[in-house]
Amino acid sequence: MHPTTHQRNKGVVTRAFVHGASSCEVVELEAKPVQSFPMTQLDPEGIFEGFIPKRPGVFRYQLRAGYPNGEFRQFFDPYCFLPTLGAQDLYLFNEGNEHKIYEKLGSHRRDLGGVLGVSFAVWAPSAARVSVVGNFNRWDGRTHPMRSLGASGVWELFIPGLGEGELYKFEIRDPRGLIHLKTDPYGTYFEGPPNNAAIVCDTRKFKWTDDAWLQRRREQAAHHDRPMSVYEVHLGSWRRKPEDANRPLTYRELAVQLGDYAVEMGFTHIEVLPIAEHPFDGSWGYQVTGFYAPTHRHGAPDDFAWFVDHLHSRGIGVILDWVPAHFPRDSFALAEFDGTHLYEHADPRQGAHMDWGTLIFNYGRNEVRCFLVANALAWFDRYHLDGLRVDAVASMLYLDYSRKEGQWIPNQYGGRENLEAITFIRQVNDLVHQYHPGGRMIAEESTSFAGVSKPTRDGGLGFDYKWNMGWMNDTLRYFAKEPIVRRHHHNDLTFGMLYQYAENFVTVFSHDEVVHGKGSMLFKMGAWHIAEKAANLRALYGHMWAWPGKKLLFMGSEFAQSREWAHDTSLDWHLCQYTDHEGVRLLVRDLNRLYLTEPVLSENDFNAQGFRWLTCHDADANLIAYVRGDAGDKTLLAAVCHFGGATRDYRLGVPRRGFWREVINTNSEYYGGTGLGNDGGRTTEDIERDGFSQSMVVTLPPLTTTLFKWTADGGSAAARSAN
């Protein structure tokens, strides 16, 4: 249908395109009695025209179409409804400050004057014509051309009678006359490849039950030093359904099973690899074509909402990987959306990503920035997420990222920093904190860019946390060596403390460490035998949980999966029947429990006063030892990390007299070790060591981290007196 009305001689000229109709008439609804005005068929395709005398330019009417088979249909004309976007909406969008533009653009069920239907709106400023197409109009772009809303570049149309479940796309004629069939950038639900059509979906109908959770989150917004132990998960391969053709689990199945597992293991949060819609499974979700839509692979948007709501009911927060750094070149999505470089830079020196073959957003364009900022806010708003981990931040910050000389364009001051991307990052971080207090923004940033996790008011980027990629790389390089040569690489263990408190760090072993031929965490360990590799990995995890910083571990690594992660099959859960694997899992569980019950392991993560070296120089012993403490040293927890291959009895200076109880021994038989340890703890002696007036002799099994907690009451009278 494409009716128009024109005043002429105190009447109205009407025109309509009704595909396949043999007759058409205008029915005036408010006339008494109801009157109809036949139209003349001008073309057999279904073009009609008529004249209605003595009528105003605006009146309430419907069209009544007859078809060759004798059928008649009466319906509202889409073009008799006023636009669903106002001047203020369009002004703020073009300015880049309509923070809820996702409620205006895209598709939305609406009730306009008692008429139910769906409004469609899309930004395509260079298009010569834009039409909504779908099953409802045989995918014919002539049927529902959209109205241009002037200089805003937005096209809009309300189609009465449509509802949830309708498939649609936008047919765009570019300035050269070429036709592009595009999915909705603001679509909330998509069908799968190869068609990838958007589906009309109401994301507001889910009934949430997590008010208490959100209230607690708001109350704790200012407290960054809370326990955060994150289990990173790829939903399609965490666990599958072998009895049902090995299919991935649904959002609802995952919610229950992941919730049970996370609670058992003591994780506080689950971080999900990107679930925004993507056509290629092998991208793991990092090449997004539907930024506002949870992927169809595990269910509908309501099912994802149920996933988050259920995990909140179990006390588990949900963090989502978010990808504003780039997007793929798929012809049905954002690339050259209206026939021009709309979302991306036209110059490949700015708009082409060299590593991934993707396109880079034009962060300097207001409407693009508005699209991305609103996207971050929409995930918090619609799905109650607790945080976004922002992917590939370094590639956004630097204009010369992964480029050679001559392949990039300096900024206006001649520098390499992407000033427009930095402005965008600061804006999105501030707005998330403004609209969703307690929501966390986490940067995967691999360089030494200053102030990533500092507030924007202090000149920082405004993230809450930053992944500690330096610690990860140094530590894994050390553990890849065999114990006999580790003394030559001792600096890899200690260097990280020089910058540890420069940012609010998350200590991570993520999915990036177990793909692309890098091997599993277990097989990264420098040892020949599985038992020795498992001992190394247990010692590493003991050190990781004791070291300052929030924690993140990728799925499968908690039970020492042997093979590298594969996105298209389940983790090897059967390995948990073997001690070398189940022992690692039990250790991670117990480390999380200790982490949650001992505030010194989380409350001073970003306070240098909460960390003290006991020894960091004994490279020949392959040993580091340090203390985590609170104000006044009321609670002290010592980590003694021995990464050598022989047993040692070692005198260690400590800051307090008394009994140091052994709370974790990664060599415990329970975890698959030999059981050699310190018989429950050690009492200090008044023998000076390493600048302390008391010390204790500890037994150091090979490849073992031992955690001790100080208590004044465990030994002699001397032990009960504080230093």
3-state DSSP helix/strand/coil percent for the chain, to nearest 5? 30, 25, 45
Token digits for 269? 């949060």
Other beta carbons less than 10 A from residue 459's beta carbon: 11
CA distance 306 to 532: 42
Beta-carbon count within 10 A of 245 CB: 7
CA distance linking residue 369 with residue 520, whole number of Å: 38
Checking 104-107 for CB contacts under 8 A at 24+ apart, the result is: 105/154, 105/185, 105/186, 106/184, 106/185, 106/186, 106/187, 106/188, 106/292, 107/168, 107/184, 107/186, 107/187, 107/188, 107/198, 107/200
Residue 169 to residues 141, 191, 287, 289, 332, Cα–Cα distance (Å)? 10, 11, 20, 13, 9
CA distance 581 to 570: 16
Helices 469-479, 530-546: axis angle to 10 degrees equals 150
Helix axes 301-313, 251-265, angle to 10 degrees: 20
Closest CA to 663 of 537, 541, 542: 542
Catalytic one of 156, 321, 391, 605: 391
Helix (H, G, I), strand (E, B) or coil at 90: helix
Query: Active-site residue among 25, 321, 336, 444?
Result: 444
Contact 594, 601 (CB under 8 A): yes
Distance of CA 424 to the CA centre of its chain: 17
SS3 letters for 352-364?
ECCCCCCECECCC
DSSP string, 288-356: -SEEEEE-GGG--HHHHHHHHHHHHHTT-EEEEEE--S-B---TTTTTTTTSS-SSB-SSHHHHB-TTT
Supply the DSSP symbol for 464: S
CB atoms within 10 A of CB 212: 10
In which element (H, E) is residue 652 found? Answer: strand 648-654
Question: Has 391 been annotated as catalytic?
Answer: yes
Residue 673's closest CA among 583, 612, 602?
583
* Token couple for 575: 């390995």
444 assigned to active site: yes
Cα–Cα dist 419/425, whole Å: 10
Q: Which residues pair with 181 in a beta bridge?
A: 171
> Under a CB-based contact definition with an 8 Å cutoff, are residues 156 and 121 in contact?
yes
Catalytic residues: 391, 444
